[in-house]
Amino acid sequence: MSTDAECVLKGALLPDGRVADISIAGGKIIHVGAGRRADRTIDCTGLLCLPGAVDMHVHMRGGKDQGYKEDWTSGTQSALAGGVTMVVDQPNTLPPLTDKAAFAGRVAEATRDAYCRFGVNGYVSGASNIAALWEAGALAFGETFAAASSYGSAVSPEELGVIFAEIADLDALVTLHCEDVLPGDDTSLEAHAALRPEAGEKKCMEMLTARFPPGLSAHFCHLSSPISAEAAMAAMPATYEVMPHHLFLSIEEHGSVPDGHCKVNPPVRHEKVRKALWEMWDAIPVIASDHAPHTIAEKSQAFSAVPSGIPGVETMVPLLLAQVYRGRIALSSLLEKVVYTPAHLLGIPASTLMAGTPADLALYPRKETETITAELLHSRAGWTPYEGMQGVFPHITCVSGHLSYLRNEFSRAEELWVPGRGYKTSGS
């Protein structure tokens, strides 16, 4: 018997307060209202339906050298279990994605193993073939390291000026890691923050902004304080992102986890800075996770030897949705920061829960929060700096209408790669 829909999500609560059936076919929402006839109906009574989040800054690790930290399977399953239906992988892999062959290998690995949509950025360095990476399908360029960080070498200002012009000519987006790293002993969270100061972020941003050619689309990564966020707003139309770890963790307040587990670049700041960053919530354009997992053993070394990075793709939306339920932030503002603005910057479609838009959706309990524990999560890292905090985790996550995550069971959809606008197939 023919049916109108492949799947109906029945009785879901929409962000505007309506309760409706969401009918899906061909990877898109075809109707919101009374349910159509369907091959499959999922009872969503009591669940809040939100568009799937777009996390535009993750490090999925993988490959032969880093798969023990995370791989595309575990990382994208973590994404789905946190309501994220699209991730953008950063190119400071081992080796970095400087040419078409390395880029194609990364896409092939992700195509084989990923469970959610993914894009891959091109690496920015003097050795990078920017035009070839754009034609190979790079979604954007960067994060671009103006200061050295884990698996990323600093690019000189002179090289960046030349590369910026090339990226502007392609009408592509460049994303920027801005820090000024001072000499000294990196022995504690406080020392780490002093060696990578807030003022240094601003100084680096101003140095880069002075080299922006006309028409460059630029986005500042993981800003950690109001000082740098205000500098980004002064550089408009450049945009910027803030990470959950700079909103929820501080030097003084990071729960029960050891200090090394909270080592990240840029660093977590003092409690007064964290609180001041929250005060800027309405002005923040994008929230992204900077998901950068390392193992418990790696994060348990002497502080100076601990690699920087925090797992976070699975906890990003749950942490913030719990703040919505507490009345601290508006649901509409959360959706702007984790769905609509990142999708717009990347030039990709996002679900608006309207007919004709992608059926990339996540369904959450309407009121209940859950205590975050490492055992709850799916990353290979095996730990979380948010241990003991409250989150709201989805029961169901759909990618292109496919039930990719259904009450802790995972299933792979097809055709998950999202190439950039410059992509040229071998026959084009």
Answer whether residue 98 is part of any domain.
yes
Residue 406's domain comprises: 5-49+354-377+390-410
Shared-domain flag, residues 19 and 114 = no
Provide the β-strand partners of residue 23: 8, 31
Shared-domain flag, residues 85 and 190 = yes
Shared-domain flag, residues 79 and 201 = yes
Answer whether residue 262 is part of any domain.
yes
Span 162-181, pLDDT tens digits? 999 999 999 999 999 999 99
Query: Distance between CA 1 and CA 124 in Å, rounded?
Result: 53
Span 77-127, pLDDT tens digits? 999 999 999 999 999 999 999 999 999 999 999 999 999 999 999 999 999
**Smallest Cα–Cα separation from 413: which of 9, 24, 27?**
27
Shared-domain flag, residues 262 and 397 = no
Shared-domain flag, residues 359 and 264 = no
CATH number at residue 36: 2.30.40.10
Shared-domain flag, residues 166 and 272 = yes
Q: With 0-12 CB in 10 A as exposed, 13-18 as middle and 19+ as buried, what is 365? A: middle
- pTM (2 decimals)? 0.96
- In 170-214, where does DSSP find H-type helix? 189-195, 198-209
Summarize the confidence of residues 224-233 as an average pLDDT: 95
Answer whether residue 383 is part of any domain.
no
Sheet containing strand 141-145, strands side by side: 141-145, 173-177, 217-220, 239-242, 286-287
Answer whether residue 194 is part of any domain.
yes
Shared-domain flag, residues 101 and 247 = yes
Shared-domain flag, residues 32 and 67 = no
Query: Distance between CA 153 and CA 146 in Å, rounded?
Result: 8
Shared-domain flag, residues 38 and 154 = no
Q: Work out the pLDDT band at 319, boundaries 50, 70, 90.
A: very high
E strands within 159-287? 173-177, 217-220, 239-242, 286-287
Provide the number of structural domains found in the chain.
2
Answer whether residue 110 is part of any domain.
yes
Answer for the pair 350, 339: CB distance below 8 angstroms, yes or no.
yes
pLDDT confidence of residue 55: 98
Answer whether residue 418 is part of any domain.
no
pLDDT confidence of residue 1: 37
Q: Work out the pLDDT band at 3, boundaries 50, 70, 90.
A: low
Catalytic positions: 290
Shared-domain flag, residues 225 and 79 = yes
Answer whether residue 23 is part of any domain.
yes
Answer whether residue 12 is part of any domain.
yes
Task: List, in order, residues 6 or more apart from 184 with CB less than 8 Å away.
Answer: 191, 194, 195
Asked if residue 156 has pLDDT above 90, the reply is: no
Shared-domain flag, residues 275 and 323 = yes
Q: What's the Rg (C-alpha) of the chain?
A: 21
